[in-house]
């Protein structure tokens, strides 16, 4: 039962990692953009949530409904003003621009909020548990994170395969030139994709702020978790991203159980093993 509890907690933490990774996977899938600033945008969302909570006294989890629209608008603006100017056959320019954006976000947050770590208090929900069996319980907050990840991925899947905007995004991703000839505004669609990505980032940022301390320098480590979940699950497969996050979370939980110093190492080793033996990921996207 002890090991079952360890694996269960790892699965639930994997939901948070999936939230880190979903926006990253979405952006890469639509416009082949590797966003180095993704982790810093998650931290930025956490600080926006901090401002919302301190200024309005709203519950941190309800702040998602304020932070998500703000981040979505910021994402659309970033894409139209900045990233659209760099997209093309060469992947290096947008990569360098996102790296520069990462540095700017970190330093701006450092200037405004200092290097002190912060945390949002969600009250009793942070420690509340739901007993499943003798010696086995589920934390309410981790369960909420996992349910949010599943709901967001399901909503994105429905949008991509059932709604006109989703079909337009898929057409633009498959062949931007043909999509343009069909009348699609690629610049607008890429902006919509980035807005969706940063809306997901907002959810991840709020849960990050509630779950643990955060500071301006935390972004790169969140980016690594996101990249690892995406690669493990398979590029372009949103459900694969969820599976990748769960695998990463379980690996870390098992590593921590064996030796606390192995927690992060275990996750990195699983990532390296997948990269070495199945570089396309465990559940790669199948076209058609």
User: Backbone phi, then psi, for 138, in 5-degree steps?
Assistant: -115, 130
- 38-78 pLDDT, tens digit per residue, is 999 999 999 999 999 999 989 999 999 999 999 999 999 99
- 259-281 pLDDT, tens digit per residue, is 888 888 999 999 999 989 988 88
- 4-39 pLDDT, tens digit per residue, is 888 998 999 999 999 999 989 898 888 888 899 999
Q: Is the pLDDT of residue 114 over 70?
A: yes
What dihedral angle (degrees, nearest 10) is formed by the CA atoms of 228, 233, 239, 241? Answer: 10
CB 104 within 8 A of CB 40: no
- 150-201 pLDDT, tens digit per residue, is 999 999 999 988 899 988 888 888 877 887 878 888 889 999 999 999 999 9
Closest CA to 211 of 61, 98, 58: 61
Distance from C-alpha of 11 to C-alpha of 253, rounded to nearest angstrom: 9
Distance from C-alpha of 88 to C-alpha of 186, rounded to nearest angstrom: 12
Distance from C-alpha of 21 to C-alpha of 43, rounded to nearest angstrom: 14
CB 109 within 8 A of CB 218: no
Distance from C-alpha of 90 to C-alpha of 36, rounded to nearest angstrom: 16
Query: Looking at residue 228, what DSSP letter applies?
Result: H
The model carries a pTM of 0.93
As a whole-number percent, the residues of the chain with pLDDT over 90 amount to 60
Find tokens 């989890």 and name the residue: 61
Reduced to 3 states (helix: H, G, I; strand: E, B; else coil), residue 129 is strand
The pLDDT confidence band at residue 248, using thresholds 50, 70 and 90, is: very high
Distance from C-alpha of 86 to C-alpha of 93, rounded to nearest angstrom: 6
Q: Is the pLDDT of residue 216 over 80?
A: yes
Query: Looking at residue 285, what DSSP letter applies?
Result: -
Q: Which two tokens stand for residue 80?
A: 């139209």
Q: What is the DSSP string of 257-283?
A: HH-GGGHHHHHHHHHHHHHHH-TT-SS
Distance from C-alpha of 95 to C-alpha of 71, rounded to nearest angstrom: 20
């Amino acid at each position: 039962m002890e090991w079952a509890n360890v694996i269960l907690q790892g699965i639930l933490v994997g939901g948070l990692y999936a939230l880190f990774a979903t926006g990253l996977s979405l952006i890469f899938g639509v416009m082949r953009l590797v966003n180095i600033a993704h982790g810093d945008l998650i931290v930025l969302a956490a600080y926006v949530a901090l401002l919302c909570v301190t200024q309005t006294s709203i519950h941190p989890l309800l702040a998602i409904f304020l932070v998500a629209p703000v981040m979505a608008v910021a994402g659309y603006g970033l894409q139209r003003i900045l990233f659209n100017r760099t997209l093309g056959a060469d992947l290096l320019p947008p990569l360098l621009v996102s790296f520069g954006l990462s540095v700017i976000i970190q330093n701006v947050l450092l200037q405004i909020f200092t290097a002190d770590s912060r945390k949002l208090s969600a009250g009793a929900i942070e420690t509340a548990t739901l007993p499943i069996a003798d010696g086995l319980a589920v934390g309410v907050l981790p369960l909420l994170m996992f349910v949010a990840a599943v709901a967001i991925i399901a909503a994105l899947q429905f949008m991509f395969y059932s709604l006109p905007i989703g079909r337009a995004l898929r057409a633009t991703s498959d062949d931007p030139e043909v999509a343009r000839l069909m009348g699609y505004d690629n610049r607008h669609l890429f902006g919509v994709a980035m807005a969706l990505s940063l809306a997901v980032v907002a959810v991840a940022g709020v849960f990050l702020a509630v779950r643990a301390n955060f500071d301006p320098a935390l972004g790169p480590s969140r980016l690594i978790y996101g990249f690892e979940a995406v690669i493990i699950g398979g590029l372009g497969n949103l459900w694969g991203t969820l599976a990748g996050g769960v695998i990463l979370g379980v690996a870390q939980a098992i590593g921590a159980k064996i030796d606390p110093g192995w927690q992060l190492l275990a996750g990195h080793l699983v990532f390296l093993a997948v990269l070495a033996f199945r570089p396309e990921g465990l559940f790669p996207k199948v076209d058609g």
